[in-house]
Structure 1
Amino acid sequence: SLMNVFSLKTIRYIIRGFLLNSIIQPAGFYIVALSSMSYSNIYVMFLTVLYGITVMCNVFLITIIFYDHRLHVPKFMAVGNLALVDLVLSTSLVPGMIKTYILLDNFVPFKLCLVQMYTYYTFLSLEPFSLCILSYDRFIAICFPLRQESINTNTRMAYLIGAIWLFSFVIILYAVTSIPTLSFCGSLEVHSYFCDYAPVLVLACGDTTPQWNYATALTMLFITVPLIFIFLTYMGILTAVFRMKNNQSRYKALATCTEHLILVAVFFIPIVIIFSFTFFGIIWNPNVGLVSLCLSSLLTPCMNPILYSLKTKEIRSRIHSLLTQRLSVHPLRNVH
């Protein structure tokens, strides 16, 4: 009857209005990206080994810097800060990937997804700014060698490190806390190797333009500002180096920058390529982008402690003294 039809339409309008004006939060998401890749298990195993090396080396580096008072100087405060950032960044990724692709449990609860997302992006944003602090330290050391200790003090370095941590923690907070304000009324499959911001945002129904604009602005900020700062500091460093009359002094000054430049290249090159391809709409295999971004997030944390341990005289000296003490306490015994 007409009355029944009218009632059904009314109920539909009420339900539709309720759905549009209410927030539908899922219990969680399913991580599915690497499951479609060939040899995904081998890739995850490789990342697991890389993660083990990263944790061991960074914990070792942080421990040496923390316990050796001779290393309590601005340069090694910056190195220790980068090691801590690398440790947390890699830990926010790999254990979840082990759970998803080795233990075959790809479901991530909603709140845990937000925690992983916030941790990853906070420490990913700390990475380029930590590299900036290292370039600032090299700039002061090479351009102002006689005033280095008065300009770059432990207190100022602590303030710089505290400032970038506060900035990253606050600026990422809005992006992640905007996710619970969205409704998810369709697929819950996240096409990434973890609870990634953009793939989760794609699943939301309704207008997500503010979130996309904010994410794009943050990405450009975290790429362009550190790169410009590092470029300017190295322009100053090169100017100071070319003014040196002694070739040995030039070589020594440039040699102290090599490990930092390697880390900058390994971290920024994949991110710049991925962002450029995405920004200009260039079509490519999305799995290549995922693998590149993942390796960028894990190679730098793995290389940092190795480079600084092998290339830095003070840390090499400390490792040598530790090994010497160890051998003197437990001397090798002759076997008869």
Structure 2
Amino acid sequence: MDLFNSALGRNITFIRPAYFIISGLTGIPNINYYYMFFFFVYIVSVLGNTAVMAIIYLDHKLRTPKYVEVFNLAFVDLFGSSALVPKVIDIFLFNHPNIPYRDCLTFLFFCYTCLCMQSFNLVALAYDRLVAIIFPLHYGVKVTHRFMLSLIAAFWALVIIVLIITVGLITRLSFCESVVINSYFCDHGQIYRLACNDNTPSFVAGLLFLVLIFWLPLVFILLSYLYIGFTLSKVATVQEGIKAIKTCTAHLSLVVIYFIPLLMTFTLMEKIHPNARIINLSLTSVIPPMLNPIIYVLQTQEIKESVKSLIKSLGNSKYI
């Protein structure tokens, strides 16, 4: 970040606080019960995503491009929950609201990295379903291991570059008044609004960030399913259409639980109480990582068969 700021001029002095104070959940009644729920969700998320990663790793039948992306989704969910939840519990439950300046920016970077990758993972899975249904004969050519790994790597690189710029813009802000962040973590929007110098670059970066990680992925996913529906209506029977859509149920479920709460929050942001906004956003951060592995285990036939096979093999090994 020092190199970033040196490009702005050597004589610029920024007022950086020793710490920020995260206060988003402190005034909510009976908040301790929420922490207990938060911790329960985290444990289920860790166990579920670890299980999905282990199943895909152990079963060679699942070494397909689609499940490479599912593995990455499980990794991102596990990484994101572990980056967010323990720190949130430490801040609020153990009364450690002060977080050092650099630690706060690091916290922001990792939380937003995982949030972005969740969105882009859904884009990759949407593309996989689009090609599998519309171009089934060319699926093995269009969606290969190399292609999927390259796509995942490109998403990671894009997210990291965008967030380095976003965090770099925050380091050029001066904080000469309040250092209280009204959120449950080091939220980008809440931080740059505390600045006492010009925060326009961070504001613009926030808007571009929202378009990049929310609107563009959502539009792509919606258009892909509209195209799937339109194509099936022209060339497939009702039974074939239903069978094709069933292969998308797991992905569609992930899209709904990820995008709908965020869409409601962004749409009704000015009409809902700040506490309700904070709770809704915090739940949006932890509920999808918990539900994603459950949905894939329950709704994906390949994983259900893999789980049964692994359980059967473990049961047989006891008698050897």
Question: TM-score, length-normalised on structure 1?
Answer: 0.88
Query: Are the counterparts in 2 of residues 128 and 226 from structure 1 also a CA contact under 8 Å?
Result: yes
- Alignment counterpart, residue 274 of structure 1, candidates 265, 273, 283: 265
Aligned mates of 2:14, 2:235 — CA distance in 1: 64
Deviations along 1:33-57, one digit per CA (max 9) or x if unpaired, are 1010011111121111001101111
Secondary structure (helix, strand or coil) at the match of 1:36 reads: coil
- Alignment correspondent of 1:262: 253
Deviations along 1:249-273, one digit per CA (max 9) or x if unpaired, are 2222111111211111111112122
Query: Are the counterparts in 2 of residues 41 and 101 from structure 1 also a CA contact under 8 Å?
Result: no
Deviations along 1:83-118, one digit per CA (max 9) or x if unpaired, are 111112222210111101222211211111111100
Query: Are the counterparts in 2 of residues 244 and 250 from structure 1 also a CA contact under 8 Å?
Result: no
Q: Indicate yes or no: 2:282 matched with 1:291.
A: no
Aligned mates of 1:286, 1:220 — CA distance in 2: 23
Query: Are the counterparts in 2 of residues 37 and 287 from structure 1 also a CA contact under 8 Å?
Result: yes
Equivalent AA in structure 1 for residue 290 of structure 2:
C
- Alignment correspondent of 2:13: 22
- Alignment correspondent of 2:120: 129
Q: Indicate yes or no: 2:176 matched with 1:190.
A: no
Secondary structure (helix, strand or coil) at the match of 1:29 reads: strand
Q: Indicate yes or no: 2:220 matched with 1:229.
A: yes
Q: Indicate yes or no: 2:98 matched with 1:110.
A: no
Query: Are the counterparts in 2 of residues 89 and 123 from structure 1 also a CA contact under 8 Å?
Result: yes
Per the TM alignment, residue 245 of structure 1 is displaced from its structure 2 partner at its CA by 4.3
Query: Are the counterparts in 2 of residues 123 and 168 from structure 1 also a CA contact under 8 Å?
Result: no
Equivalent AA in structure 2 for residue 81 of structure 1:
N
Equivalent AA in structure 2 for residue 128 of structure 1:
S
Q: Indicate yes or no: 2:66 matched with 1:66.
A: no
Number of residues of Structure 1 aligned to a counterpart in Structure 2:
309
Q: Indicate yes or no: 2:26 matched with 1:35.
A: yes
Q: In structure 2, do the counterparts of structure 1 residues 230 and 245 end up closer, same or farther at CA, with 3 Å as the change threshold?
A: closer
- Alignment counterpart, residue 305 of structure 1, candidates 293, 307, 313: 293
Q: In structure 2, do the counterparts of structure 1 residues 21 and 145 end up closer, same or farther at CA, with 3 Å as the change threshold?
A: closer
- Alignment correspondent of 2:244: 253
- Alignment correspondent of 1:144: 135
- Alignment correspondent of 1:315: 303
Per the TM alignment, residue 221 of structure 1 is displaced from its structure 2 partner at its CA by 2.6
Per the TM alignment, residue 277 of structure 1 is displaced from its structure 2 partner at its CA by 3.4
- Alignment correspondent of 2:195: 204
Secondary structure (helix, strand or coil) at the match of 2:197 reads: coil
Equivalent AA in structure 1 for residue 152 of structure 2:
I
Secondary structure (helix, strand or coil) at the match of 1:105 reads: coil
- Alignment counterpart, residue 75 of structure 2, candidates 76, 84, 91: 84
Query: Are the counterparts in 2 of residues 191 and 199 from structure 1 also a CA contact under 8 Å?
Result: yes
- Aligned CA-pair RMSD: 1.6
Q: In structure 2, do the counterparts of structure 1 residues 21 and 136 end up closer, same or farther at CA, with 3 Å as the change threshold?
A: closer
Q: Indicate yes or no: 2:86 matched with 1:95.
A: yes
Secondary structure (helix, strand or coil) at the match of 1:163 reads: helix
Question: TM-score, length-normalised on structure 2?
Answer: 0.92
Equivalent AA in structure 2 for residue 181 of structure 1:
R
Query: Are the counterparts in 1 of residues 69 and 121 from structure 2 also a CA contact under 8 Å?
Result: yes
Aligned mates of 1:203, 1:288 — CA distance in 2: 21
Aligned mates of 2:254, 2:224 — CA distance in 1: 16
Instruction: Give the fraction of aligned pairs with identical amino acids, expressed as a percent.
Output: 36
Aligned mates of 1:328, 1:253 — CA distance in 2: 35
Aligned mates of 2:177, 2:268 — CA distance in 1: 27
Q: In structure 2, do the counterparts of structure 1 residues 246 and 27 end up closer, same or farther at CA, with 3 Å as the change threshold?
A: same
Runs of 4+ in 1 over 3 A off after TM superposition: 243-248
